[in-house]
Chain A
Amino acid sequence: MSGKNNGYLVSSHLEKVLREGHFAVTGELGPPQNADPAVIREKAAFLKGYVDAVNITDNQTAIVRMSSIGAGLLALKEGLEPVIQMTCRDRNRLAIQSDLLGASALGLKNLLCLTGDHQIFGNHPTSKNVYDMDSLQLVHMMTEMRDKGIFQCGDEIKGQTASFLIGAAAAPFADPTAFRPLRLAKKIRAGANFIQTQLVYDVKEFAIYMEKVRELGVHKEAYILAGVGPLKSPGMAKYMKKNVPGILVPDEVIDRMTQAGKEWIGKKAADLAPEEKKARSKAWKTEGIQVCIDLIKDIKKIEGVAGVHIMAIEWEEAVKPIVEGAGLYPRPEVK
């Protein structure tokens, strides 16, 4: 990759960490369903110093929340470097470009381009969706804004353009699985500089996926960050395995979570005293963090993986022990 500023595209902290060859760590911060900036500050405090950049979700799961750009600016003021998530669900190409100009003007430097969860899953299922563009078109549009200084319509952007390190998502285990490495390559060819994957619990399958990615050679054209996340309970592991498309949870992981709470196996939540419930939850969560640490250690060995993206939404406290446990603390300083 080349660019104007010492070879950097945008000189974001994340770009520097990746370019210098450090194993990057990104996190995730879900804005609140209200206008309270204190929520962002509280969550940011858990993440600061433990991640190189933090994704700020965009009406995640189609539930109305504080905007990604607004919350991102608050996070930036707290000393975190945001990755602004932008979905195609809620905005047409006019709105997206105008928001990107605004975000860039505010000093936000990283962008993750997403299609967006369908609104049927959220709290406004009767709304009209937009999908004027898809995530690949969004990646390409932003690349042209940054590198050619043109809007999607082809008009020149007179003056300063929007500039971001451009990211995209990948779902290695979603169907049709044979197409997934190719789709990743397509996103990278459209201009993605970094990739964050859906949650990985099955390292063996992920290694097979990465082998195919390496055959395509695209791991040298973009930085691939594997998605990981701590499990809170065996129930959560089973739910994801069964109900969330594109997430593989091996039985071994479910067993580890179940065994962590073996003292309470066979007991219903209703039969447990509050302090017992607390103890069980604590045992599960401790194991969930340990599973995550072990996953990171295994994923780190896979050639072509440039870092991890830790998704611990509504459990930001977990990031610190995960990063420390995986030997990824302290985070690198870059100039």
Chain B
Amino acid sequence: MITAEQKPLAEIQGLLGDAKKVLVVGCGTCVTVCFAGGDREAQIMAASLRMASKINGHPQEITDITVQRQCEWEYLDEIEKEIADADIVLSLGCGIGVQAIAEHFPDTWVVPGLNTTFLGLPTEQGVWEERCAACGDCILGLTGGICPIARCSKSLLNGPCGGSEDGHCEIDPDVPCAWQLIYDRLTSMGKEETLMELQPPKNWQVSRDGGPRKIIREDLRLISDED
């Protein structure tokens, strides 16, 4: 899932400025699961901002609403009226949600309430860790299901650098060394020979480095380019 964290309240207040009517929009999918921007967080955010605006002596009218997914037009259509009523929208969706609102409602000023952080998973209650860099050319089949692109600090493809110590990365004792994990897994599965194969430089063209990406599935499209 996509994980995110809330921005500091002061930064959000700065983004909202002196707008009179603020609509906080939560999202019911990834950011709900990581407790950053779901219905509950949207309500708390709205209450916090209301309180802060009163203390500042410039009370703002702050309401909140949460949609199932900010990243799909059909869910955004459901809140068209609320959006139209607001001077400004504070999206508690990920970066995709913010942009979906901006794109779907061209006359609405929308600002982000979250910092979108990574694609990851909760490893324990209250802890999320990065797992995927969306590089566009998955190599997990070579590395025993552990991604060195997302999890090695240097995205190395041919084994650990000299900074691996006691299972962690030299940049931080709380960061596991991805190549130690890969080494352990491949050796325990009897596949250590894979470690000796020289992996060529990666094709980053299918990653973000090739420019913004797009997927077109003609088999699923209702309107083709020829129409």
Contacts and interface: CB of A to CB of B under 8 A. Distances in A.
A159 interface: no
A115 B157 contact: no
A239 interface: no
A129 B201 contact: no
B162 A245 contact: yes
B196 A115 contact: no
A186 B164 contact: no
B178 interface: no
Nearest to A169: B162
Contact of B158 (A117, A137, A176, A245): A137
Interface of B: 153-167, 170-171, 177, 179-180, 183-184, 195-196, 198-202, 204
B160 A175 contact: yes
A152 interface: yes
B170 A118 contact: yes
Given A115-B161, A171-B161, A245-B162, 19 more contacts: A115-B156, A116-B154, A118-B154, A129-B154, A131-B156, A132-B201, A135-B161, A136-B158, A137-B200, A141-B201, A152-B201, A175-B160, A176-B164, A176-B183, A179-B183, A183-B159, A186-B158, A186-B196, A190-B198
Contacts of A183: 159-160
Q: Mostly helix, strand, loop or mixed at chain B's interface?
A: loop
Interface of A: 88-89, 93, 115-118, 120-121, 129, 131-137, 140-141, 152, 169, 171, 174-176, 179, 182-183, 185-186, 189-190, 198, 245-246
Contacts of B158: 134-137, 186
A93 B205 CA distance: 13
Which of A89, A132, A185 has the most chain B CB atoms inside 10 A of its CB?
A132
Nearest to A174: B162
Given A132-B204, A245-B164, A246-B163, A186 B198 contact: yes
8 contacts: A115-B156, A117-B163, A137-B201, A169-B162, A174-B160, A176-B160, A179-B195, A186-B196
A174 B159 CA distance: 12
A117 to B, nearest CB: 8
Contacts of A171: 161-162
A179 B159 contact: yes
Contacts of A89: 154
A7 to B, nearest CB: 26
Nearest to B161: A115
